Amino acid sequence: MPIDPKDLDLLAEAVRRLRDGFARLPAAARSYDGERARDALLAAADRMHDNFPYHHPLYVGQMLKPPHPVAKLAYAMAMELNPNNHALDGGRASSYMEKEAVAQIARMVGWEEHLGHLCGGGTFANFEALWVARELAPGKAIAASSQAHYTHSRLSSVLGVPFVPIPADASGRMDLDALQRELARGEIGTVVATLGTTAAGRVDPLPEIVKLARAVGARVHVDAAYGGYFTLASNLEPATRAAYDAMRDADSIVIDPHKHGLQPYGCGCVLFKDPSVGRFYRHDSPYTYFSSSELHLGEITLECSRAGASAVALWTTLRMLPLVRDGEFARGLEAGREAALALYAALRDDERVAPLFVPELDIVVWVVRARSATEASARAREVFDAAARHDLHLALASFPRAMAAHTISDWDADDVMCLRACVMKPEHREWMPEIVKRLKASL
């Protein structure tokens, strides 16, 4: 959704309203050379042409969803002050707005009591969750599916914690039998369940994972950086719905507002069910936390300086689009899933390709049929390039034989390169006929 010229009028009105709050202060305007600024800004716009059209419905590649116009405007308005949400001293109003916005996300997953905050993105949010997990279960390992984001094994290494990969089953979800065997060893302290894997949008069986973990006293962390907001969607399959309903039983959760939450990068969110884990964060800063005895967000985050404008943008978006089922925001998620199902149906009926799974959320992956895995991978790359020439931008992802065995007869490689589409913009539902037309022309 591009910014309309009338949106700029709204931004100007909002900035004037903001300045009215400081009207008692003597004028202290800073001047700059408008012509040089124009030259620099237009040069930057020209440089930005060297991008794929992430904002357009014909871009279905990576997980890139345009921020809502109100989020862009709120972010720009907040930059008039450029608040820092490390401490109330640097971002008082925006810190309160962050707490309110994070509380809405917590309520969305069923938590009234929680500890949480925004951060730069899913990587740092997961880092904090795994760090707290390490502190609560020192010496214990972290386990995650082989289809989980690579950041979990890498962050475990940074934290000096053993990492145990759990194989994915043929559906791309965590293999429960393999998890049970590993848990029986008594070495795992935290199990990471993914609700919306990066490659294929698969949803791990969270109710069963919670049951297995609790039986041995292990924590459960949910990485829902991509898929967390889908708990609001009304058109999920029963097993997927059950996984989202079980989010409230986890110990910690990560959700990225800058993915499906219509926010600018970077805006991640980490939540803990037990607020007492804040004791691991607590520290003193005599030159920072002096203006108030209230909790400063810097006292419960590992990051120091954090953009208050991100909190203002999120708060404003939630005021306009509350996180409720059957609301406008939820309908946008449902539209993306409908688009994914339409794309899957079109691929299923085309003998030249073979989709790996029925999409659970809004990601679709498929093999380009060929005699062997190697040839199928080469054909996928050819179609990827051909689609780009039709201004249709896809993504590529590699999958192991276990997840794609039904699509290829001659497995001369351990994995196969597939095509992948993230149809996460609400507009993709209406654009799907055009997307399918261009895709078929590329095969």
| Beta carbons of 191 and 169 less than 8 angstroms apart | no
- Per-residue pLDDT band for 290 (boundaries 50, 70, 90) equals very low
| Beta carbons of 205 and 239 less than 8 angstroms apart | yes
pLDDT at 29 over 80: no
Has residue 146 been placed in a domain? yes
Has residue 227 been placed in a domain? yes
The pLDDT of residue 281 is 86
Has residue 6 been placed in a domain? no
Has residue 58 been placed in a domain? no
Judge if 292 and 417 occupy the same domain. Answer: no
Lowest-pLDDT range, 175-189, 190-204, 284-298?
Answer: 284-298
How far the first Cα of the chain sits from its last, in Å, is 30
Judge if 312 and 368 occupy the same domain. Answer: no
Judge if 378 and 409 occupy the same domain. Answer: yes
What would the pLDDT profile of 211-242 be if each residue is shown by its tens digit?
999 999 999 999 999 999 999 999 999 999 99
pLDDT at 387 over 80: yes
β 415-422/115-119 pair status:
unpaired
Judge if 167 and 279 occupy the same domain. Answer: yes
CATH number at residue 302: 3.40.640.10
Sheet holding 363-368, edge to edge: 353-355, 363-368, 415-422, 395-400
pLDDT at 53 over 50: yes
pLDDT at 273 over 80: yes
pLDDT at 186 over 70: yes
- Per-residue pLDDT band for 427 (boundaries 50, 70, 90) equals very high
Q: Domain limits at 391?
A: 328-442
What would the pLDDT profile of 4-16 be if each residue is shown by its tens digit?
778 899 999 999 9
Tell me the C-alpha distance between 209 and 221, whole Å. Answer: 10
Of 262, 289, 320, at which residue does a domain stop? 320
Tell me the C-alpha distance between 257 and 314, whole Å. Answer: 8
Place of tokens 């800004």: 41
| Chain-centroid distance, C-alpha 356 | 22
Q: Which two tokens stand for residue 45?
A: 């716009």
Judge if 308 and 393 occupy the same domain. Answer: no
Residue type, 55: H
Enumerate the H helices of 284-327 as residue ranges. Answer: 308-320
Judge if 377 and 433 occupy the same domain. Answer: yes
Place of tokens 């040089």: 36
| Beta carbons of 59 and 52 less than 8 angstroms apart | yes
Name the CA radius of gyration of the chain, rounded: 23
User: What is the arithmetic mean of pLDDT over 299-312?
Assistant: 91
pLDDT at 31 over 60: yes
State the helix-helix crossing angle for 176-183 and 206-215, rounded to 10 degrees. Answer: 10
Judge if 219 and 293 occupy the same domain. Answer: yes
Has residue 25 been placed in a domain? no
Judge if 358 and 414 occupy the same domain. Answer: yes
CATH number at residue 416: 3.90.1150.170
Total structural domains within the chain: 2
Judge if 246 and 315 occupy the same domain. Answer: yes
| Beta carbons of 394 and 419 less than 8 angstroms apart | yes
What would the pLDDT profile of 338-352 be if each residue is shown by its tens digit?
999 999 999 999 999
Of the chain, the percentage scoring pLDDT greater than 90 comes to: 89
